[in-house]
Amino acid sequence: MPLLEVKDLKAYYFISRGAVKAVDNVSIDLEKGESLGLAGESGCGKSTLGFALMNMLPPPGRVVAGSIKIDGQEIVGMKEDELRKRIRWQEIAMIFQGAMNVLNPVYTVGYQVAEPLIYHKGMGKKEAIEEAKKYLELVGLDPNIVNRYPHELSGGMKQRAVIATALIMSPKVLIADEPTTALDVIVQAQIINLLKELKRKLGLSIIIISHDLSVISELADRLAIMYAGKIVELGPSDSVYSDPVHPYTKALLNAIPRLRKKQERLEFIPGAPPNLLSPPPGCRIHPRCPYRFEPCDKEEPELVEVRPGHFVACHLYTRR
Protein backbone atom coordinates (compact mmCIF):
# COMPACT_ATOMS: atom_id res chain seq x y z
CA MET A 1 0.00 0.00 0.00
CA PRO A 2 1.42 3.40 -0.97
CA LEU A 3 1.95 5.96 1.77
CA LEU A 4 -0.14 8.57 -0.01
CA GLU A 5 -2.91 7.57 -2.34
CA VAL A 6 -4.89 10.10 -4.31
CA LYS A 7 -7.81 8.91 -6.40
CA ASP A 8 -9.96 10.84 -8.85
CA LEU A 9 -9.46 14.05 -6.95
CA LYS A 10 -11.49 17.05 -8.04
CA ALA A 11 -10.81 20.45 -6.48
CA TYR A 12 -12.76 23.43 -7.80
CA TYR A 13 -12.92 27.12 -7.02
CA PHE A 14 -16.45 28.37 -6.92
CA ILE A 15 -16.74 31.93 -8.11
CA SER A 16 -19.76 33.90 -9.24
CA ARG A 17 -19.28 32.94 -12.89
CA GLY A 18 -19.03 29.23 -12.20
CA ALA A 19 -16.58 26.59 -11.03
CA VAL A 20 -12.90 26.85 -11.88
CA LYS A 21 -11.83 23.26 -12.35
CA ALA A 22 -8.30 23.65 -11.07
CA VAL A 23 -7.78 19.97 -10.29
CA ASP A 24 -9.90 17.58 -12.29
CA ASN A 25 -9.79 13.82 -11.82
CA VAL A 26 -6.23 13.52 -10.65
CA SER A 27 -4.87 10.24 -9.33
CA ILE A 28 -1.35 9.83 -7.99
CA ASP A 29 0.38 7.91 -5.30
CA LEU A 30 3.57 8.20 -3.34
CA GLU A 31 5.57 5.36 -1.82
CA LYS A 32 7.44 5.65 1.41
CA GLY A 33 10.82 7.29 0.88
CA GLU A 34 9.92 8.28 -2.63
CA SER A 35 9.93 11.74 -4.13
CA LEU A 36 7.48 12.80 -6.75
CA GLY A 37 7.83 15.92 -8.84
CA LEU A 38 4.80 17.83 -10.02
CA ALA A 39 5.49 20.22 -12.89
CA GLY A 40 3.53 22.45 -15.18
CA GLU A 41 2.94 26.02 -16.27
CA SER A 42 1.64 28.47 -13.70
CA GLY A 43 -2.10 28.13 -13.32
CA CYS A 44 -2.17 24.45 -14.26
CA GLY A 45 -3.47 23.48 -10.84
CA LYS A 46 -0.32 22.05 -9.31
CA SER A 47 -0.36 24.34 -6.28
CA THR A 48 -4.07 23.71 -5.86
CA LEU A 49 -3.29 20.02 -5.80
CA GLY A 50 -0.68 20.64 -3.14
CA PHE A 51 -3.15 22.52 -0.93
CA ALA A 52 -5.83 19.93 -1.60
CA LEU A 53 -3.48 17.26 -0.26
CA MET A 54 -3.28 19.23 2.99
CA ASN A 55 -7.06 19.59 2.70
CA MET A 56 -6.73 23.31 3.21
CA LEU A 57 -7.78 24.95 0.00
CA PRO A 58 -8.36 28.66 0.52
CA PRO A 59 -12.01 29.59 -0.06
CA PRO A 60 -13.77 29.64 -2.45
CA GLY A 61 -11.82 26.48 -3.25
CA ARG A 62 -13.16 23.10 -2.23
CA VAL A 63 -12.43 19.41 -2.77
CA VAL A 64 -15.46 18.24 -4.70
CA ALA A 65 -14.85 14.56 -5.13
CA GLY A 66 -12.22 11.85 -4.86
CA SER A 67 -10.17 10.47 -2.06
CA ILE A 68 -6.87 11.23 -0.37
CA LYS A 69 -5.50 8.52 1.89
CA ILE A 70 -2.44 8.99 4.02
CA ASP A 71 -1.19 5.71 5.39
CA GLY A 72 -4.60 4.29 4.66
CA GLN A 73 -6.49 7.04 6.42
CA GLU A 74 -9.05 8.99 4.40
CA ILE A 75 -8.77 12.73 4.93
CA VAL A 76 -11.35 14.02 2.46
CA GLY A 77 -14.45 14.92 4.44
CA MET A 78 -12.62 14.89 7.73
CA LYS A 79 -13.66 17.57 10.21
CA GLU A 80 -11.51 20.70 10.23
CA ASP A 81 -10.76 20.33 13.90
CA GLU A 82 -9.54 16.78 13.51
CA LEU A 83 -7.49 17.71 10.48
CA ARG A 84 -5.82 20.45 12.43
CA LYS A 85 -5.19 18.33 15.49
CA ARG A 86 -4.20 15.03 13.93
CA ILE A 87 -3.31 15.28 10.28
CA ARG A 88 -1.73 18.53 9.27
CA TRP A 89 1.89 18.84 10.19
CA GLN A 90 1.80 15.50 12.01
CA GLU A 91 1.04 13.33 8.99
CA ILE A 92 1.57 15.74 6.15
CA ALA A 93 3.46 19.02 6.20
CA MET A 94 4.27 21.65 3.64
CA ILE A 95 7.20 23.81 2.65
CA PHE A 96 5.45 26.90 1.40
CA GLN A 97 6.09 28.89 -1.70
CA GLY A 98 7.52 32.36 -1.39
CA ALA A 99 9.66 32.30 1.71
CA MET A 100 9.30 36.07 1.92
CA ASN A 101 5.85 36.15 3.48
CA VAL A 102 5.46 32.80 5.11
CA LEU A 103 7.18 34.04 8.23
CA ASN A 104 5.29 36.52 10.34
CA PRO A 105 7.45 39.65 10.63
CA VAL A 106 6.55 40.33 14.27
CA TYR A 107 7.46 36.93 15.75
CA THR A 108 10.94 35.50 16.26
CA VAL A 109 12.11 32.83 13.88
CA GLY A 110 12.56 30.38 16.73
CA TYR A 111 9.00 30.78 17.92
CA GLN A 112 7.62 30.27 14.45
CA VAL A 113 9.66 27.15 13.85
CA ALA A 114 8.65 25.80 17.24
CA GLU A 115 4.98 26.73 17.01
CA PRO A 116 3.75 23.30 15.85
CA LEU A 117 5.37 21.69 18.91
CA ILE A 118 3.49 24.08 21.17
CA TYR A 119 0.10 23.33 19.68
CA HIS A 120 0.53 19.67 18.77
CA LYS A 121 2.67 18.37 21.58
CA GLY A 122 1.65 20.88 24.21
CA MET A 123 5.27 21.79 24.85
CA GLY A 124 6.19 24.93 26.72
CA LYS A 125 7.56 27.78 24.67
CA LYS A 126 11.11 27.44 25.98
CA GLU A 127 11.27 23.71 25.54
CA ALA A 128 9.82 23.97 22.05
CA ILE A 129 12.39 26.55 21.02
CA GLU A 130 15.19 24.35 22.38
CA GLU A 131 13.84 21.56 20.16
CA ALA A 132 13.59 23.96 17.24
CA LYS A 133 17.31 24.71 17.56
CA LYS A 134 18.08 21.12 16.61
CA TYR A 135 16.08 21.41 13.45
CA LEU A 136 17.62 24.74 12.58
CA GLU A 137 20.98 23.09 12.87
CA LEU A 138 19.74 20.24 10.73
CA VAL A 139 18.89 22.63 7.88
CA GLY A 140 22.28 24.30 8.19
CA LEU A 141 21.39 27.35 10.23
CA ASP A 142 23.05 28.72 13.33
CA PRO A 143 20.70 27.64 16.16
CA ASN A 144 21.22 31.00 17.82
CA ILE A 145 19.04 32.69 15.23
CA VAL A 146 15.98 31.59 17.22
CA ASN A 147 15.82 35.05 18.72
CA ARG A 148 16.10 36.83 15.42
CA TYR A 149 13.21 38.29 13.45
CA PRO A 150 12.52 37.32 9.83
CA HIS A 151 13.67 40.66 8.42
CA GLU A 152 17.14 40.00 9.82
CA LEU A 153 17.49 36.85 7.72
CA SER A 154 18.42 36.49 4.05
CA GLY A 155 16.03 34.84 1.62
CA GLY A 156 17.95 31.57 1.71
CA MET A 157 18.05 31.56 5.51
CA LYS A 158 14.31 32.15 5.64
CA GLN A 159 13.69 29.29 3.26
CA ARG A 160 15.83 27.03 5.46
CA ALA A 161 13.83 28.10 8.48
CA VAL A 162 10.63 27.29 6.61
CA ILE A 163 12.01 23.84 5.81
CA ALA A 164 12.91 23.33 9.45
CA THR A 165 9.34 24.25 10.39
CA ALA A 166 7.99 21.65 7.99
CA LEU A 167 10.28 18.95 9.40
CA ILE A 168 9.75 19.64 13.06
CA MET A 169 6.87 17.20 13.58
CA SER A 170 8.59 14.48 11.45
CA PRO A 171 5.62 14.21 9.08
CA LYS A 172 5.12 11.12 6.96
CA VAL A 173 4.60 13.13 3.81
CA LEU A 174 6.19 16.43 2.90
CA ILE A 175 4.95 18.75 0.18
CA ALA A 176 7.40 21.31 -1.14
CA ASP A 177 5.54 24.01 -3.02
CA GLU A 178 7.96 25.95 -5.23
CA PRO A 179 10.70 25.67 -2.60
CA THR A 180 13.21 27.69 -4.59
CA THR A 181 11.12 30.34 -6.28
CA ALA A 182 12.15 33.94 -5.61
CA LEU A 183 15.66 32.96 -4.55
CA ASP A 184 19.00 33.75 -6.16
CA VAL A 185 20.36 31.05 -8.45
CA ILE A 186 23.16 30.15 -6.04
CA VAL A 187 20.79 30.01 -3.10
CA GLN A 188 18.44 27.90 -5.21
CA ALA A 189 21.22 25.40 -5.71
CA GLN A 190 21.99 25.41 -1.98
CA ILE A 191 18.34 24.74 -1.08
CA ILE A 192 18.11 21.95 -3.64
CA ASN A 193 21.23 20.38 -2.19
CA LEU A 194 19.79 20.73 1.29
CA LEU A 195 16.57 19.00 0.29
CA LYS A 196 18.54 16.24 -1.42
CA GLU A 197 20.64 15.72 1.67
CA LEU A 198 17.62 15.76 3.99
CA LYS A 199 15.88 13.27 1.77
CA ARG A 200 18.84 10.94 1.95
CA LYS A 201 19.39 11.41 5.67
CA LEU A 202 15.79 11.30 6.84
CA GLY A 203 14.25 9.15 4.12
CA LEU A 204 11.62 11.78 3.38
CA SER A 205 8.58 11.00 1.28
CA ILE A 206 8.19 14.20 -0.61
CA ILE A 207 6.14 15.81 -3.33
CA ILE A 208 7.94 18.66 -5.05
CA ILE A 209 5.81 21.15 -6.88
CA SER A 210 7.56 23.48 -9.27
CA HIS A 211 7.25 25.14 -12.63
CA ASP A 212 10.99 24.65 -12.97
CA LEU A 213 11.75 21.24 -14.44
CA SER A 214 15.43 21.48 -13.64
CA VAL A 215 14.66 21.76 -9.93
CA ILE A 216 12.42 18.74 -10.09
CA SER A 217 14.79 16.64 -12.12
CA GLU A 218 17.40 17.10 -9.40
CA LEU A 219 15.13 15.87 -6.64
CA ALA A 220 12.35 13.69 -7.99
CA ASP A 221 12.35 9.94 -8.47
CA ARG A 222 9.18 10.18 -10.45
CA LEU A 223 7.75 13.07 -12.41
CA ALA A 224 4.17 14.10 -13.14
CA ILE A 225 3.36 16.76 -15.72
CA MET A 226 0.14 18.71 -15.22
CA TYR A 227 -1.79 20.68 -17.74
CA ALA A 228 -5.07 22.51 -17.11
CA GLY A 229 -5.95 20.55 -14.03
CA LYS A 230 -5.00 17.15 -15.33
CA ILE A 231 -1.98 14.92 -15.26
CA VAL A 232 -0.85 14.38 -18.82
CA GLU A 233 2.30 12.38 -18.23
CA LEU A 234 3.65 10.45 -15.27
CA GLY A 235 6.70 8.29 -15.05
CA PRO A 236 10.20 7.72 -13.66
CA SER A 237 12.11 10.96 -13.67
CA ASP A 238 14.83 9.84 -16.09
CA SER A 239 12.37 8.31 -18.45
CA VAL A 240 10.19 11.41 -18.67
CA TYR A 241 13.08 13.80 -18.74
CA SER A 242 15.22 12.11 -21.33
CA ASP A 243 12.50 10.71 -23.50
CA PRO A 244 9.19 12.54 -23.09
CA VAL A 245 6.19 11.10 -24.79
CA HIS A 246 3.45 13.68 -24.57
CA PRO A 247 3.66 16.55 -27.08
CA TYR A 248 3.16 19.05 -24.24
CA THR A 249 5.99 17.58 -22.17
CA LYS A 250 8.20 17.66 -25.20
CA ALA A 251 7.46 21.30 -25.79
CA LEU A 252 7.94 22.05 -22.13
CA LEU A 253 11.33 20.41 -22.08
CA ASN A 254 12.34 22.19 -25.24
CA ALA A 255 11.56 25.47 -23.57
CA ILE A 256 14.41 25.07 -21.10
CA PRO A 257 18.06 25.30 -22.02
CA ARG A 258 20.20 22.23 -21.38
CA LEU A 259 23.87 21.71 -20.97
CA ARG A 260 24.31 18.09 -21.78
CA LYS A 261 22.01 17.58 -24.67
CA LYS A 262 22.17 18.90 -28.17
CA GLN A 263 19.39 21.28 -28.77
CA GLU A 264 18.43 23.05 -31.98
CA ARG A 265 16.78 26.04 -30.44
CA LEU A 266 14.70 27.00 -27.47
CA GLU A 267 11.04 26.65 -28.14
CA PHE A 268 8.07 28.25 -26.65
CA ILE A 269 4.62 26.84 -26.53
CA PRO A 270 2.24 28.92 -28.62
CA GLY A 271 -1.05 30.01 -27.12
CA ALA A 272 -2.03 30.26 -23.50
CA PRO A 273 -3.40 27.74 -21.01
CA PRO A 274 -7.17 27.45 -21.26
CA ASN A 275 -9.69 29.15 -19.05
CA LEU A 276 -10.47 26.55 -16.41
CA LEU A 277 -14.02 27.87 -16.01
CA SER A 278 -14.87 26.20 -19.30
CA PRO A 279 -11.95 24.05 -20.43
CA PRO A 280 -11.97 22.90 -24.02
CA PRO A 281 -13.77 19.61 -24.67
CA GLY A 282 -11.80 16.45 -25.27
CA CYS A 283 -8.09 16.70 -24.69
CA ARG A 284 -7.50 20.02 -23.00
CA ILE A 285 -4.34 20.76 -24.93
CA HIS A 286 -5.75 20.25 -28.37
CA PRO A 287 -6.09 23.94 -29.32
CA ARG A 288 -2.35 24.37 -28.76
CA CYS A 289 -1.24 20.97 -30.00
CA PRO A 290 0.45 20.69 -33.39
CA TYR A 291 -0.36 16.96 -33.63
CA ARG A 292 -4.05 17.14 -32.94
CA PHE A 293 -6.25 14.88 -34.97
CA GLU A 294 -9.81 13.73 -35.24
CA PRO A 295 -10.71 12.52 -31.67
CA CYS A 296 -8.74 15.17 -29.78
CA ASP A 297 -11.53 17.75 -29.47
CA LYS A 298 -14.17 15.16 -28.56
CA GLU A 299 -12.80 12.46 -26.34
CA GLU A 300 -10.76 12.89 -23.24
CA PRO A 301 -7.63 10.70 -23.36
CA GLU A 302 -7.01 8.27 -20.50
CA LEU A 303 -3.60 7.67 -18.93
CA VAL A 304 -2.05 4.63 -20.58
CA GLU A 305 1.18 2.90 -19.78
CA VAL A 306 3.64 3.32 -22.64
CA ARG A 307 6.69 2.05 -20.86
CA PRO A 308 6.96 0.26 -17.52
CA GLY A 309 5.72 2.74 -14.94
CA HIS A 310 5.48 5.50 -17.53
CA PHE A 311 1.97 6.74 -18.26
CA VAL A 312 0.70 9.26 -20.76
CA ALA A 313 -2.71 10.72 -21.58
CA CYS A 314 -2.65 11.39 -25.30
CA HIS A 315 -4.69 10.07 -28.21
CA LEU A 316 -1.49 9.64 -30.19
CA TYR A 317 -0.80 6.64 -27.95
CA THR A 318 -4.31 5.38 -27.12
CA ARG A 319 -5.51 5.31 -30.72
CA ARG A 320 -2.54 3.81 -32.39
Decide whether 113 or 296 has the Cβ nearer to another protein: 113
Please tell me the total number of residues recorded for the chain in this structure.
Answer: 320
| Minimum separation from the CB atom of position 94 to another protein (A) | 6
Using CB atoms within 10 A of its CB, is residue 76 exposed (0-12), middle (13-18) or buried (19+)?
middle
| Minimum separation from the CB atom of position 47 to another protein (A) | 12
Decide whether 113 or 138 has the Cβ nearer to another protein: 113
Site residues (vs another protein, CB under 8 A): 54, 56, 58, 84-85, 88-90, 93-94, 96-98, 100-107, 115-116, 119-120, 149, 151-152, 165
User: What's the helix, strand, coil split of the chain in %, to 5?
Assistant: 35, 25, 40
Decide whether 103 or 138 has the Cβ nearer to another protein: 103
Backbone angles phi, psi at 72, to 5 degrees: 85, -5
> What is the distance of C-alpha 161 from the center of its chain?
19
Q: What is the CA radius of gyration of the chain?
A: 20
What is the distance between the alpha carbons of residues 190 and 157, in angstroms, rounded to a whole number? 10
Decide whether 93 or 285 has the Cβ nearer to another protein: 93
| Minimum separation from the CB atom of position 6 to another protein (A) | 18
| Minimum separation from the CB atom of position 141 to another protein (A) | 18
| Minimum separation from the CB atom of position 156 to another protein (A) | 17
Decide whether 122 or 290 has the Cβ nearer to another protein: 122
Q: How many other C-beta atoms lie within 10 A of the C-beta of residue 241?
A: 20
Contact call for residues 139 and 174 (beta carbons, < 8 A): no
Decide whether 106 or 185 has the Cβ nearer to another protein: 106
Crossing angle between the packed helical segments 155-167 and 185-202, to the nearest 10 degrees: 20
| Minimum separation from the CB atom of position 310 to another protein (A) | 33
Look at residues 1, 58, 3, 6 and name the one whose alpha carbon lies nearest to residue 231: 6
